[in-house]
């Protein structure tokens, strides 16, 4: 492949990340510098947001390349502190092309209210936004992991569950990870999920 084609693919990946970051910010899912976004190019390169950037003001310059084990390719650049949670998903499943992480109010509060190790959403029409669902008479269970500032250690807690997870998981008091075959799919899943989490939060508040 020629360098210009490689660069065009990189630009495209950055564009997807930047647009998704802006949308997540507009929806209130990534307050201040919270959240991180990545995608994997067809040639295997991994593009991820740099650590500490505001996702509402993302530009192409805030996207950096990391190796499959999460090391920045260019020294002096600092990849997301949670890069390992992205790269473990890419390593686990070759069909994953994008990973999104947000810190919405609903994901944060519900993950603290739920005391078990999973949160189940059921009976909602919007469950049908997820592929393969044809009725509201279904449920989606998201694994829920304890938060940990040691991301390598957190990744080891997530690892045994990778095989059984379909599209995402929650971290207690922290937020949500969602993935898909490409950025459009990951973003649509996140949007569906955030809607359901917001509904669940509203019914919890009503019940009190
Ligand atoms: C600034 S609060 C959120 C961070 O601690 C972290 O959880 C996060 O999502 C963003 O980290 P980052 O290193 O910018 O990718
Ligand atoms: Zn986070």
Output the tens digit of pLDDT for each of the chain's 208 residues: 566 776 999 999 999 999 999 999 999 999 999 999 999 999 999 999 999 999 999 999 999 999 999 999 998 999 999 999 999 999 999 999 999 999 999 999 999 999 999 999 999 999 999 999 999 999 999 999 999 999 999 999 999 999 999 999 999 999 999 999 999 999 999 999 999 999 999 999 999 8
Ligand 1 binding pocket (C-beta < 6 A) is: 32-36, 49, 51-52, 80-82, 101
Q: What is the pLDDT of residue 97?
A: 98
User: Which ligand 1 atom is nearest residue 53's CA?
Assistant: 14
Ligand 1 centroid to residue 199 C-alpha, Å: 25
Ligand 2 centroid to residue 4 C-alpha, Å: 34
Q: What is the pLDDT of residue 1?
A: 57
The CA distance from 124 to 65, in Å, is 38
Ligand 2 centroid to residue 10 C-alpha, Å: 24
Report the 3 state secondary structure along the chain. Answer: CCHHHHHHHHHHHHHHHHHHHHHHHHCCCCCCCCCEEEEECCCCCEEEEECCCCHHHCCHHHEEEECCCCCECCCCCCECCCHHHHHHHHHHCCCCCEEEEECCHHHHHHHHHCCCCEEEEECCHHHHHCCCCCCCCCEEEEEEECCCCCHHHHHHHHHHHHHHCCCEEEECCCEEEEEECCHHHHHHHHHHHHHHHHHHHHHHHHHC
| Closest C-alpha to ligand 1, atom 9 | 35
Q: What is the pLDDT of residue 4?
A: 73
CB 68 within 8 A of CB 149: no
Pair type for strands 46-49 and 63-66: antiparallel
Task: Please give the domain boundaries of the chain with CATH numbers for all domains.
Answer: 3-207 (3.40.225.10)
């Amino acid at each position: 492949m020629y360098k210009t084609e490689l660069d065009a693919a990189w630009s495209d990946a950055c564009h997807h990340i930047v647009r998704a970051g802006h949308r997540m910010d507009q929806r209130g899912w990534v307050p201040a510098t919270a959240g991180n976004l990545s995608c994997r190019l067809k040639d295997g390169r991994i593009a991820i947001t740099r650590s500490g950037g505001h996702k509402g003001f993302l530009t192409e310059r805030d996207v950096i390349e990391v190796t499959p084990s999460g090391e920045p390719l260019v020294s002096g650049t600092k990849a997301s502190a949670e890069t390992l949670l992205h790269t473990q998903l890419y390593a686990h499943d070759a069909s994953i092309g994008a990973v999104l992480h947000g810190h919405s109010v609903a994901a944060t509060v519900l993950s603290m209210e739920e005391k078990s190790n999973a949160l189940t959403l059921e009976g909602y029409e919007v469950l049908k936004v997820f592929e393969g669902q044809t009725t509201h008479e279904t449920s989606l269970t998201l694994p829920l992991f304890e938060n940990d500032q040691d991301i390598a250690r957190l990744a080891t807690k997530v690892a045994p569950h990778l095989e059984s997870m379909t599209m995402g998981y929650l971290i207690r008091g922290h937020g949500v990870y969602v993935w898909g075959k490409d950025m459009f799919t990951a973003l649509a899943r996140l949007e569906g999920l955030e809607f359901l989490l917001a509904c669940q939060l509203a019914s919890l508040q009503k019940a009190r």
